[in-house]
Amino acid sequence: MLCPDCSATQKSGQPLNGVLEVEWKGTPESENPLDFLPVERQYFPAIPVGNTPLWHPENLLSKYGFPELYLKDDGANPTGSLKDRASFLVAAFARKYAIREVVVASTGNAGSSMAGVGAAAGLKIKLFLPRTAPPAKMIQALQYGADVVLAEKNYDQAFALSLEYSNTHGGMNRNTAYNPMTVEGKKTVSIEILNQLKKAPDHVFVGVGDGVILSGIYKGFRDLLQLGRIVKIPTVHAVQASGSAAIYRAMESGVFDGKPAKTVADSISVDVPSNGHLALKNLKDFDGRCITVTDEEILSAQKELSSDCGLFSEPAAAAAYAGFLNQKRSLDSGETCVVLLTGNGLKDIGSAAKNIIIPEKAVNSLDEIS
Ligand SMILES: *Cc1c(COP(=O)(O)O)cnc(C)c1O
């Protein structure tokens, strides 16, 4: 999966060395994002991944005076997160090469996604989850029929166990960044944004943990640039939780310090971002920005998205919107901004519950309510 020479110098506690990238050659047969992927269409399972809605939320447009603000709702994917884009390509790849089992470590969404998409593809899924994963994500994976193993410590441990498993038992490992199809599969979101807007946006905001979605967004725009479909790569804003900001710190210091992460946004809670090197390179090469937002900003952005536009996102997704709110003063209000909402709010109701008031008592008659 990795470049053998580069990965030979791998140090523990550091992002993966030698992550491979797919190289684009030729011209796609159509504008359908599937025609930009390295596996032929006939291998993709019959589950409708992608084509997620692009919202133009009138209440927020007028509230902040950004007429060209859009929300891309990737929580509308079949298993409720953008991870389906990667799982879809991984499943097609496995089918093309007659691989029957896929092994994956996940903080929750990648696992439930691979389980669901894998079910549609007729694949066997072995999933390693940290014991602390939100229950909904684990239950989702079990519903889809995955074989789930809980890691006692954290995601980093689940990652190591899954690699040991696929190395000794076989099966294809889908770990994020490690399997090059994960970055490649996620690029379809950029192609869809171009198709939906009929132009490239000026800014894209995205919540960042391992930096794979970020690199997927860049890969999509880079392919489009190479094909002459766009003239410039949009400014991508990588939004990290202030308690899980390894890429933000590495942008400043050049090193990944491995500091333990802690944030309410579990899907972007990462000590050592597995795709840190590529994420950093993309941000530097294309003038991307990396910013942090606090857990309070994330939960308040999540609440605002829900109550102002009817879009319920999980905290890691709402982090992208918190990033937009945090940065909007530095943007030109006429610019086109796309906020990528990567996962559905029902996946982690425990976090959402922190910022609402749940009625305490039940009533028998209307006389009891004020
Ligand atoms: C995985 C995930 C992210 C972050 O993606 P990375 O590739 O780890 O940076 C953000 N939001 C949601 C909902 C996710 O599931």
pLDDT digits (tens, 9 = 90+) for 293-311: 999 999 999 999 999 999 9
Residue 364, SS3? coil
Which residue puts its alpha carbon closest to atom 1 of ligand 1? 267
CA–centroid distance, residue 359 to ligand 1 (Å): 32
Q: What pLDDT, in 10s, does the model give residues 129-154?
A: 999 888 898 999 999 999 999 999 98
- Provide the 3-class DSSP secondary structure of residue 105: strand
Q: What span, in angstroms and rounded, lies between the C-alpha atoms of 337 and 358?
A: 34
- Percentage of the chain beyond pLDDT 70 is 100
Q: What is the pLDDT of residue 252?
A: 94
Asked if domains 33-80+182-355 and 83-179 share a fold, the reply is yes
Q: Which CATH number fits domain 33-80+182-355: 1.50.10.10, 1.10.3720.10, 3.10.200.10, 3.40.50.1100?
A: 3.40.50.1100
Element holding 151 (H helix, E strand):
strand 147-151
| Ligand 1, CB within 6 Å, residue ranges | 81, 83, 109, 176, 207-214, 267-268, 314, 316-317, 342-343
Residue 130 near residue 103, CB atoms below 8 Å? no
Res 370 pLDDT > 80: no
pLDDT value of position 156 = 82
Report the predicted TM-score, pTM, of the whole model to 2 decimal places: 0.96
Q: Where are the domains of the chain?
A: 33-80+182-355, 83-179
Tens-digit pLDDT profile for residues 47-73: 999 999 999 999 999 999 999 999 999
* Atom 12 of ligand 1, residue of closest alpha carbon: 342
- 123 CB contacts (<8 Å, ≥6 apart)? 91, 94, 95, 99, 100, 101, 102
Tell me which of 107, 129, 213, 282 to substitute to probe ligand 1's pocket, judged by most ligand atoms within 8 Å of the beta carbon: 213
Tell me the CA–centroid distance for residue 83 and ligand 1, in Å.
7
What topology is assigned to 83-179 in CATH?
Rossmann fold (3.40.50)
Best mutation site among 79, 85, 109, 348 for ligand 1 pocket (most ligand atoms within 8 Å of CB): 109
Centre of ligand 1 from the C-alpha of residue 369, in Å = 42
Would the pLDDT of 183 be above 80?
Answer: yes
The pLDDT score that the predictor gives to residue 169 is: 95
- By most ligand atoms within 8 Å of CB, the mutation choice from 137, 342, 346 for ligand 1 is 342
Give the Å distance between the CA of 306 and the centre of ligand 1.
19
CA atoms within 13 A on the CB side of 298: 33
Q: What is the mean pLDDT of the chain?
A: 96
pLDDT band at 33 (very low <50, low <70, confident <90, very high): very high
H or E segment to which residue 289 belongs: strand 289-293
Type and span of the H or E element at 194 = helix 188-197
Q: CB within 8 A of 30, min separation 6: which ones? A: none
- Whether the CB-CB separation of 106 and 144 falls below 8 Å is answered with no
CA of 268 from ligand 1 middle (Å) equals 6
pLDDT tens-digit series, residues 72-106: 999 999 999 999 999 999 999 999 999 999 999 99
Q: How, if at all, do strands 235-241 and 289-293 pair?
A: parallel
- Type of residue numbered 357: I
Cα diameter, the chain: 74
